[in-house]
Amino acid sequence: MSHHLFVLSPSDTPLYSLTHQSAKPVPSVTSPLASNLPTWSTSAFAGTLTALSGASSATQHTSGGAVRVGGGQDRHVIQMIANAGLDVIEEVMHREPTMYLKSVDKFNEWTVSAFITPGNTKFVLLHEGKNDEGIRAFFMEVWELYVKTMLNPFQTAHTVIRSGVFDSRVRASARKHL
């Protein structure tokens, strides 16, 4: 089961992103649409199309025998889903008085959860399956790390986070909670 974390500045530019493979098993999602679809493997946009059509967990076997992950796992699809989630987040954040906005958006197998810091930086997490408490704990740890990063005088709310320590701490936290 994989998780994708994006940290976005107040003006929605990406500051940091992380892909985490969790050891926990994937809940089996069956999409009736997926089985009826032709194989798009020749098209460059195969991933996008399969993802959009809901063929999420359809893993395709290439001729070499290697397993290609389904369209929903493609990098650009992930980014698209995260970006689409932003619209919903923007809407919800003016209604909900909490920082942790759980499961604001759903797209095929992906659920989008978000965390808004007081300075309006957004943490967006794409995840499969339900894990509210773990995600909350994960966000709280990322927030603490983010505050510490911000205290650096060379860091602003709009500079990309390049700290190696930040990265390893976030990874450790992801291993612990996700």
Q: How far is the CB of 108 from another protein (least distance, A)?
A: 28
End-to-end CA separation in angstroms for the chain: 9
Please give the residue ranges that form the binding site for another protein (CB under 8 A).
10, 93-95, 97-100, 116-120, 140, 143-154, 156-159, 163, 165-166, 169
Distance CA 44, CA 73 (A): 15
The smaller minimum CB distance to another protein, of residues 106 and 158, is found at: 158
Tell which residue, 128, 133, 137, 163, has the closest CA to residue 149.
163
The smaller minimum CB distance to another protein, of residues 61 and 94, is found at: 94
Our measurement of the distance from residue 160's CA atom to the centroid of its chain's CA atoms, rounded to an integer in Å, reads 18
Q: How far is the CB of 65 from another protein (least distance, A)?
A: 43
* Structural Rg of the chain based on CA atoms: 17
98-113 as b/e, with b when 16 or more CB fall inside 10 Å?
A: ebbbbebbebbbbbbb
What would the two tokens of residue 20 be? 């985490």
The smaller minimum CB distance to another protein, of residues 68 and 136, is found at: 136
Q: How far is the CB of 14 from another protein (least distance, A)?
A: 17
Q: How far is the CB of 93 from another protein (least distance, A)?
A: 8
The smaller minimum CB distance to another protein, of residues 77 and 116, is found at: 116
